[in-house]
Chains A and B, each alone.
Chain A
Amino acid sequence: MSYFRITLMRSGIGLPAKVQGVLKALGLRKRMTTVYYPVSPDVAGQIMRIKELVDVKEVAEPMTKCQMREARRPDPGYYIERKGNRLIDEKM
């Protein structure tokens, strides 16, 4: 089962009500929001309506909001050292 990853790149402001309705139905309220939907002709039809506004990729697994946030998080640039004996304890 694969999923469509749909990201709203261009806003729907000023476009016909049908286009804005599709955006709303897909849960794309603001630019750069990403939603995941299983691949089906229904969703494909919705994407066809908003094809100029979105970026679509086919992915194997959907990501939750938390996972997307974590993926965006930059490298902190440091790491916390731990005591050697604690590492040994964890391994045992």
Chain B
Amino acid sequence: MFGPFRLTNPLAGGLLWKIPWRLSSHQKYRQRGRLRRVDAVIATLDSALARMGKSMKKVQRWKVEMPREEEMLAKDKYTVFDRKVKRYRKGIHKVPKWTRVSQRLNPPGF
């Protein structure tokens, strides 16, 4: 029952990777930090360009279209739309490279 040779799923059947279906609270905490860090970069770019009297379409579009971290719903922070999944939502940690990509918007109504 206990000890190093106990019969667990990985020992019995070889390779078994289990990815939980939702993020842990600590993963969510770090995810919020990452979102805020991107917001800070955008704010820096915008203020620096504004001080020079210039602006940039890409930055302006991001500011108009993308919600900031505090404006986002928890649903959008931690899950993404997926048409193949029951109820159309899966954890954002299932997205490849999810800690280094921006995925903020989802289809309206889902």
Total A-B residue contacts, Cβ distance less than 8 Å: 57
> In the complex, what residues of B have CB within 8 A of residue A48's CB?
45, 56, 58-59, 62
Chief secondary structure at chain A's binding surface: mixed
Q: A2: nearest residue on chain B (CB-CB)? A: B48
Chief secondary structure at chain B's binding surface: helix
Q: A45-B56, A48-B58, A51-B38 are in contact. Are A56 and B101 (CB under 8 A)?
A: no
Q: How large is the interface on B (under 10, 10 to 19, 20 to 34, 35 or more residues)?
A: 20 to 34
Q: How large is the interface on A (under 10, 10 to 19, 20 to 34, 35 or more residues)?
A: 20 to 34
A-to-B contact residues, CB < 8 Å: 2, 4, 10, 14-15, 39-41, 44-45, 47-48, 51-58
B-to-A contact residues, CB < 8 Å: 34, 37-38, 40-42, 44-45, 47-49, 51-52, 54-56, 58-59, 62, 97, 99-102
